[in-house]
Amino acid sequence: MAEATSPPEGISALAGLSLPSASGVAHLVEATIAARLVLRAPVEVAARMLAASGLENPTGINRAIRTAAGSSLQLGPDEWLVLAASGPAGELAAAMAAAAGAASHALLDVSERSVAMTLEGPRVEDVLAAGCPLPLEIQAFAVGRATRTLWAKAEIVLWRQEPRRFHIEVARSFAPYLVGSLAQAIANEAAFVAQQRA
């Protein structure tokens, strides 16, 4: 296609925000996602579509799986969020749609709907427990679990990538709030850690 030249780079919703970090607690960094797709389809159709583009179908709802092509997070019985390792979204979507054949589904490019961050550190569970009402102990929310949930007053998608690393997706207009309130939680946790050491 003539349009295969990648479009101009858009402005990140995190531009201008300083991301919090506290040694011994947790740090927040922007995660670049080349393309995001929302896939809505019956599970067997979705599995076929994911496979066609080098992705895998997670083992169930609220689980995520990563391959070289990208990650797929199953957020509902017929809902997947695809985070592609490389763009553009159009090519990925075309491959997936072709695999669906005549089966009905919804496939949308939502690359710029949200921003992604990685929160990582030894006290990451404690930091998240300040604003997320879900139980996030490793026994309750193992590596590979992903879910739509709340952080304080913002809706987020939370995915545990490693025992001490979480991927967070948030709608772009909520990003400054999320960053500000995570910064507060990290600062509080750092103060608790310092107090315990003292």
Partner 1 sequence: MTRKRETHTPQRFRASSGGRIDRSEPQSFTFDGRHLTGYAGDTLASALLANGVHMVARSFKYHRPRGILTAGSEEPNALVSIRRDWRRVTPNVRATEVELYEGLIAESQNRWPSLALDVGSVNDRLAPLFPAGFYYKTFMGPQALGGNRAWTHLFEPAIRRMAGLGRAPIDADPDHYASRYAHCDVLVVGAGPAGLMAALVAAEVGASVIIADEQAEFGGSLLAEAEATIDGQPAWDWLSAIILRLQGNDRVRLLPRTTVFGCYPDHLFGLAERITDHMADPDRGLPRERLWQVRAREVVLATGSIERPLVFRDNDRPGIMLAGAAATYRERYGVLAGTRAVIATACDSAYGLAARLARDGVRVERIVDFRARVAPAATETARADDLAVTVGASIKATAGRHRVAAVGLKHLDGRGERIECDLVLMAGGFTPTLHLFSQLRGKLAWDEARQTFRPAAPRDHVHLAGGCDRQSGLSGAIAGGVAAGEAAARANGRDSMTGRRAVVVASADAATTADAMTAAPAASLKGRAFVDFQNDVTTKDLQLAAREGFRAIEHIKRYTTTGMATDQGKTSNVNALGVVSAALRQGVGALGHTTFRAPFTPVTFGTLAGEARGSLFDPVRRTPVDASARSAGAVFEDVGQWQRARYFTRGGENMAVAVFRECRAVRERVGVFDASTLGKIEVVGPDAATFLDRMYVNDISGLAVGRCRYAVMLSEAGFVMDDGIVARLASDRFHVTTTTGGAARVLAHMEDYLQTEFTDLECWLTSVTEQWGVVAVQGPRAREVLAPLVDGVDLSGAALPHMGFAAGRILGVPMRLFRVSFTGELGFEINVPSGHACVLWDALLARAEAIGGGAYGTEAMHVLRAEKGFIIVGQDSDGTVTPADLGLPTGARKREFVGKRSLARPDMVLSDRPQLVGLESSKASVVLEEGAQITDTATPRPGTRALGHVTSAYLSPSLGRPIALALIKNGRGRIGETLYVPMPGGTLRVSVVAPGFYDPEGARLDG
Applying CB under 8 A, which residues contact partner 1?
Answer: 3, 7-13, 38, 40, 78, 104-114, 129-135, 137, 140, 152-154, 171-174, 176-177, 180-181, 184-185, 187-188, 190-192, 194-195
Of 67 and 129, nearer to partner 1 (C-beta) is 129
Q: CB 68 → partner 1: shortest distance, Å?
A: 25
CA distances from 48 to 39, 53, 86, 140 (A): 12, 9, 20, 30
Using an 8 Å Cβ cutoff, are 70 and 49 in contact?
Answer: no
Q: CB 140 → partner 1: shortest distance, Å?
A: 7
Q: CB 13 → partner 1: shortest distance, Å?
A: 7
Q: Is the dihedral of CA 155, 168, 125, 137 positive or negative?
A: positive
CB contact burial 91-127 (16+ within 10 A = b; e otherwise) = ebbeebeebbeeeebebebebeebbbbbbbbebbbbb
CB-based contacts of 167, cutoff 8 Å, min separation 6:
31, 116, 117, 118, 146, 158, 159, 160, 161
Of 159 and 174, nearer to partner 1 (C-beta) is 174
Of 40 and 67, nearer to partner 1 (C-beta) is 40
Of 22 and 146, nearer to partner 1 (C-beta) is 22
Q: CB 120 → partner 1: shortest distance, Å?
A: 20
d(C-alpha 53, C-alpha 191), whole Å: 46
Of 21 and 67, nearer to partner 1 (C-beta) is 21
Q: CB 161 → partner 1: shortest distance, Å?
A: 21
The closest of 62, 54, 61 to 96, measured between CA atoms, is 54
Q: CB 185 → partner 1: shortest distance, Å?
A: 7
Of 27 and 67, nearer to partner 1 (C-beta) is 27
Using an 8 Å Cβ cutoff, are 104 and 43 in contact?
Answer: no
